[in-house]
Chains A and B, each alone.
Chain A
Amino acid sequence: MKIFCVIPAWNEEKKILDVVNEAAKYVDNVVVVDDGSIDQTVEVLKKTNAIVLRHIINRGQGAALQTGNEFALLNGADIVVHFDADGQFLATEIKEVIQPLINNECDIVFGSRFLGKKSKLPFWKEFIIMPLAHLVNKIILGRTLSDPQGGFRALNRKALQEIIITQRGMAHCSEIIYKAFKNKLRIKEVPITVIYDEFGQSFGGGIRIIKDLLLAKLLD
């Protein structure tokens, strides 16, 4: 089985090296999509064996993931893992996230911060942002999962072909959940750990997600 790890990166010169080297231990290919970084991210990546795709201008994390997905599909990927470049996820958990796909138990696996493993979320995020994200997903998309905004997930080839990410910003998390249900894919959630060293998604970012989802509803 050919396993790719797609890592979208935007100005991640400080952490990208460790993240790529750790992820590389658990997959066949690491694909970093540099999303128009203006720091030394690309230079740092030259020290690794990662395949580097470059967005000539910044297009957002969702767009970078779709670029990585399409590249992986073109290069015969059976499984693609989505992983963040900021070091918030544990590469050791890649094994647990891809295992249900290897066992053919499902088509898509979502890592969840709210199943068993305890991630220390900032108070306002756990009790304000997350319940709001659940509500928005239910109202606008009609679907939600235990972790509505998680970025650690794995998709098999079928899921990659059926889920085309059109949300270039952070609304892609909700979009992927929605399309997984819409395409009747077999879904599984797996507990993961998230290490927070900064606030992550801001309130303004949350509002932008709602706006993007509403706009997408009008366009699609």
Chain B
Amino acid sequence: MLQQYIAIAVIFFFLFRLVWQKKKKQIDSREFLFWFVFWFVAGIIILNLRLVDELVASFGFSSSGINVLLYISVIILFYFVFRIRLRQEKMEREMTKIVKNIAINNIKP
């Protein structure tokens, strides 16, 4: 039970931070909506862990619900890291183009 309270407190912290960031216009509406839904769903799951256990068991998993959620989170995190890596590589290519153009254009005829 204590763990659930702590988790809810953490979620509230991130939700307040999210609203604060939106007010300061540090994030756009799309990003705000994505993370709001993300933390909201996380809160619902935390409050209904027994339901999650039952749901996970109905899919045939022997682990508890929270364990399965943890596995899924790790997979999702790996996917995000991969996406970020691809985006970073694209940015590196753009940067190279800029450096190349500066090098060529700075040459005096």
B106 interface contact, C-beta 8 A = yes
Q: In the complex, what residues of A have CB within 8 A of residue B95's CB?
A: 57, 59
CB within 8 A of B104: which of A63, A67, A168? A67
> Is B102 touching A56 in the complex (CB atoms < 8 A)?
yes
> Is B93 touching A166 in the complex (CB atoms < 8 A)?
yes
Chain B contact residues, majority secondary structure: helix
Distance of B109 from chain A, by nearest CB (Å): 10
Q: How many residues of A contact B (CB 8 A)?
A: 19
B92 interface contact, C-beta 8 A = yes
Q: Closest B residue to A58 by CB, please name it.
A: B99
CA distance A218 to B89 in the complex (A): 11
Q: Closest B residue to A67 by CB, please name it.
A: B100
Q: In the complex, what residues of B have CB within 8 A of residue A1's CB?
A: none
A33 interface contact, C-beta 8 A = yes
> Is A66 touching B100 in the complex (CB atoms < 8 A)?
yes
Among B86, B99, B103, chain A packs the most CB atoms within 10 A around the CB of B103
B107 interface contact, C-beta 8 A = yes
Q: In the complex, what residues of B have CB within 8 A of residue A33's CB?
A: 103
> Is A71 touching B107 in the complex (CB atoms < 8 A)?
yes
Chain B positions 15-67 with a Cβ under 8 Å from a chain A Cβ = none
Chain B positions near chain A (C-beta within 8 angstroms): 85-86, 89-90, 92-93, 95-96, 99-100, 102-104, 106-107
Q: A71-B103, A168-B92 are in contact. List 20 more A-B contacts (CB 8 A).
A: A33-B103, A51-B107, A53-B103, A54-B106, A55-B99, A56-B103, A57-B99, A59-B96, A59-B100, A66-B96, A66-B100, A67-B100, A67-B104, A70-B100, A71-B104, A71-B107, A168-B93, A215-B85, A215-B89, A219-B90
Chain A positions near chain B (C-beta within 8 angstroms): 33, 51, 53-57, 59, 63, 66-67, 70-71, 74, 166, 168, 215, 218-219
